[in-house]
Structure 1
Amino acid sequence: MNVYMRELACALAKYNVKVDIFTRWTNETAPQVVQLNPQVRVIHIKAGPVAPIHKNDLYQYLPIFTRNIDEFRCREAGQYDLIHSHYWLSGVAGMRLARLWDISHVTTFHTLARLKQLAHPNEPEPPLRLEMEQRLIQHVDRIIAPTVDERTELIRFCGATTSQVDVIPCGVDLDLFVPRDQQQARKLLYLDPQQPVLLFAGRLDPFKGPDLLLRAAAMMEEEAQIVIVGGKLSGDKDVKGLQTLAKELKISQRVHFLGARPRQEMPLIYSAAHVTVVPSYHESFGLAAVESLACGTPVVATRAGGLMTVIQHGETGYLVPRCAGFFAERLDTLLHTPDLYAHMSAAARDSVRRFSWSSVARQVHDVYDAIIDEAECLVAQ
């Protein structure tokens, strides 16, 4: 989500849009205002301790967060034409500020609790989040959904109106995410150049399914290396849990934990892999899948959510039911069929050119224009 906001803001700047990104101040050494480019600022707002806080504890600080945003605006004598909020917590803040400033409000949920719960009923979402997301849907002027499927789900399950939801995909930096030489990439990452590599990249949340990749790898005919990018290399309970599982499955000697890596390193890591595996219960879009395809690496993923829009089944990867056996079978098929693998690799990058940030920003800019025009027409009446 942070990548999305930064990249979208900088791409919108090319359309002469000025963007202020308000976020909670979490680091005492960070300046209050960071200028990303002449048109884009990140503004840190005090709300609670100037330190990281678990997302489940943030709601209590929303009133002071919104109040301090308004005070910052008043000090600068600034005026905004529109609010674009991201995630439900920011959406609640945006809802209050939109009412206070009498301007339109666009939101992008990125993940919706109701849809997560439908995908994984055994993991209930916080009632407060469910309630606030429902309230947001009732009050915002427009919702940007990354896929047609999410638009349909917003209307069918969450009560959004047909005119309220626009479909605009997330983007990928096609200048950064480019194919690298696979053997050279493996050498730099100290991976066996002769043994296939399966990659998982993302949060090590059980919802994302890194454990399913380990279970699938243990069932495969091919003894592939497994690279897991995410989490911390020390004191991380999710990493420890996966390490324990790898030992139980007797595959720990070929599982490599790299921890969370800087974004600039990810093209090298995607290029080192034969296949990127995305075994989530649900993905609104599937940014890791898009980045992987941009680097020429096929993807095997759960047949769910935005992944069905990103991956062309049988052409750039496979979409399978969320079951270790299905993943194992498709991964073995790819690794044992060189011609098929070469075809998918060759098709991968072209399949995601439509997700360039320039294209995404143009579509978002059009939505902003339409909403502002609608608001002006209402005032004129």
Structure 2
Amino acid sequence: MTTDEPRIRRRVAMVSVHTSPLAQPGTGDAGGMNVYVIETAKRLARRGIGVDIFTRQTTASDAAVVEVEPGVKVRHVAAGPYEGLNKEDLPGQLCAFAAGMMRVAAHAPEGHYDLVHSHYWLSGQVGWLAADRWDVPLVHTMHTMARVKNLHRAEGDAEEPRGREIGEAQVVEAADRLVANTRDEGRELVDLYGADPDRVDVVPPGVDLDVFHPGNRSEARRSVDVPDDAVLLLFVGRIQPLKAPDLLIRAAAMLTRRDPTLRRRLVVGILGGPSGGAVRTPMALDRLALDEGVADLVRFVAPTDRDGLATWMRAADVVTVPSHNESFGLVAVEAQACGAVVVATDVGGLPTAVGDAGLLVDGHDLHAWVDAIESVIDNPERQADLSARAAERARGFAWEVTAERLASVYEAALATPRRASINESDTLAGIPTAVIP
């Protein structure tokens, strides 16, 4: 027990089965969700809500419990072999994971956890069981949804399995409250999964403004070895078809064809590692760069820590977010907080994240993307205006605000009678078409 323990007035069991909040974002299954889980947990603890984060142990060296800061503990649960399991293999380990959670709770006083907050559908299945066992509310955040991903699937990307769709529908029915990143995501929960609109709360994610903030561009460029007069275009994220990093390489090639003099100054940074199916079937971006004649302009950079990421973003002229779908687009907000101009796909949560402080492109037409990028790099006044607006907009997305709203969701869940047992025939029936107000 820490010296700060008496200030904890509530305790939440947060569940993140398939990816640890301690993992480096940008590769494997680690991404924006990891950042969301750890950042909200820290801010909740500072508000007097203790958080135990349950995640799967993936190496023998993982400590059973890691105290991140007073009030926040990461608990590693043994469920299947440490290595060699893909996310698609994890449904078979949910029973083992749930049993591990139950063992932890068995050593705590009765009523130790006031609430369960699960992240992603795999965690929702475990959270459903834990909430029923402990007779506490279940709050669930989807982060991504199979039916949405299948509607916006990238060419060549595998369709999300039917089993995931069913599992998500069950979690939607079981949860006492559903947290959506944006109003559009809330509508998708209602329209595609039949969620009760009265149980859907919109809570936008945040950004760490102590890390991601404007700074001296020249200093940032010296730190990442980019010439001061360069035009730096950046992609940040996991390397997978859904994120479409290949579009930036193709765009760079078209930019140099339109303006051959740009080749002397253009630098393209691809920050991230392979994820999902791209681990087994790599996207071969290096080969694409070679084929497009821009291999000498492209730098592939391994995932970096948050301070290093912020430095790259401060150095950039444009940060591209060409995803086929994003529930929010945390990278876009982090980039804007650094004063970078964001060019993003007009899809999912990206319009909410970017707003009018960046440029939104409809679809993935290469000419449209190159036009948007050119309109920034060829117009210093416009770039400066968008940069200032981006930093100002990002200040409205602080993690402290996210945590405050989550705390209100928790209180609403605790104040409402728990939902009755799930009727499976209702869960898997036709999907209603109500619209969230």
Q: Same fold (TM over 0.5)?
A: yes
Aligned residue in 1 for 2:175: 140
AA aligned to 1:359 is V
Once the two structures are superposed, what CA deviation does each residue of 1:20-45 show, in whole Å capped at 9, x if it has no partner? 10011112112101111221111111
Q: 1:285 aligns with which of 299, 308, 328?
A: 328
| Partner Cα distance (2:166, 2:45) in 1 | 34
TM-score, normalising length: structure 2? 0.82
Written as runs of structure 1 = structure 2, the 5 A alignment for 1:207-286 is 207-220=242-255, 221=258, 222-223=262-263, 224-231=266-273, 241-286=284-329
* TM-fit CA distance, 1:319: 3.6
| Partner Cα distance (1:269, 1:66) in 2 | 40
Q: 2:240 aligns with which of 205, 220, 241?
A: 205
Q: 1:318 aligns with which of 339, 347, 360?
A: 360
Q: 1:183 aligns with which of 218, 227, 235?
A: 218
Question: Contact between 2:116 and 2:137, CA under 8 Å: does it hold in 1?
Answer: yes
TM-score, normalising length: structure 1? 0.94
Once the two structures are superposed, what CA deviation does each residue of 1:315-360 show, in whole Å capped at 9, x if it has no partner? 3333432222111111011110111111001111110112101111
Q: 1:300 aligns with which of 319, 343, 365?
A: 343
AA aligned to 2:183 is V
| Partner Cα distance (2:314, 2:164) in 1 | 38
Question: Contact between 2:203 and 2:406, CA under 8 Å: does it hold in 1?
Answer: yes
Question: Contact between 1:213 and 1:324, CA under 8 Å: does it hold in 2?
Answer: no
| Partner Cα distance (2:353, 2:108) in 1 | 42
Question: Number of aligned pairs?
Answer: 375
AA aligned to 2:297 is R
| Partner Cα distance (1:376, 1:50) in 2 | 35
| Partner Cα distance (1:50, 1:244) in 2 | 32
| Partner Cα distance (2:325, 2:48) in 1 | 35
Question: Contact between 2:241 and 2:283, CA under 8 Å: does it hold in 1?
Answer: no
| Partner Cα distance (1:376, 1:94) in 2 | 14
AA aligned to 2:399 is W
Aligned residue in 2 for 1:6: 38
Written as runs of structure 1 = structure 2, the 5 A alignment for 1:19-34 is 19-34=51-66
Once the two structures are superposed, what CA deviation does each residue of 1:208-251 show, in whole Å capped at 9, x if it has no partner? 0001111111112344311000017xx97777700000011001
Aligned residue in 2 for 1:371: 413
| Partner Cα distance (1:377, 1:100) in 2 | 14
| Partner Cα distance (1:163, 1:214) in 2 | 44
Once the two structures are superposed, what CA deviation does each residue of 1:284-333 show, in whole Å capped at 9, x if it has no partner? 000110000000001000000110101123x3333432222111111011
| Partner Cα distance (1:374, 1:27) in 2 | 40
**Over aligned residue pairs, what C-alpha RMSD do you find?**
1.9
Aligned residue in 1 for 2:131: 98
| Partner Cα distance (2:334, 2:154) in 1 | 29
Unaligned runs of 5+ in 2: 1-32, 421-437
Unaligned runs of 5+ in 1: none
Written as runs of structure 1 = structure 2, the 5 A alignment for 1:101-120 is 101-120=134-153
Aligned residue in 2 for 1:124: 159
SS across alignment from 1:311: helix
AA aligned to 2:139 is V
Question: Contact between 1:26 and 1:52, CA under 8 Å: does it hold in 2?
Answer: no
* TM-fit CA distance, 1:254: 0.2
| Partner Cα distance (2:198, 2:236) in 1 | 35
1:64 aligns with 2:96: yes
More helix by share: 1
Aligned residue in 1 for 2:82: 50
| Partner Cα distance (2:96, 2:288) in 1 | 43
Question: Whose RCO is larger (CA < 8 A, sep 6+)?
Answer: 2
Question: Contact between 2:174 and 2:419, CA under 8 Å: does it hold in 1?
Answer: no
Range that drifts further, 98-107 or 243-252: 98-107
